[in-house]
Amino acid sequence: MSKINKAKSFKKSKAGTYLSIGTTLFGAVSIAKQVKTARLEHDKLQLVDAVVSAAAVATGIALLVRELRRISNEGDLDVLAD
């Protein structure tokens, strides 16, 4: 199996999905800082940007959780399970 195919398989594995969730949640830290800064500076436009970014993170996590549930329901098709 080529390296590209292995990478694609990892992305659709449980471990890859957990890694994606973790990196997405890491982005939430940056958004929290952005919200704090916007509130301190009373910058409504920056606050709106942070809220929209937070919505994008929430949507991304919801999609990843759905993918994780799909993988779990498929059973033994996980690449890294063996």
Distances (CA, A) of 56 to 27, 30, 39, 48, 61: 10, 13, 20, 12, 9
Contacts of 24 (CB under 8 A, 6+ apart): 57, 60, 61, 64
Full-model pTM: 0.69
Structure confidence by residue, pLDDT tens digits, 67-77: 888 888 876 55
Give the Cβ contact number of residue 42 at 10 Å: 8
Structure confidence by residue, pLDDT tens digits, 30-54: 999 999 999 999 999 999 999 999 9
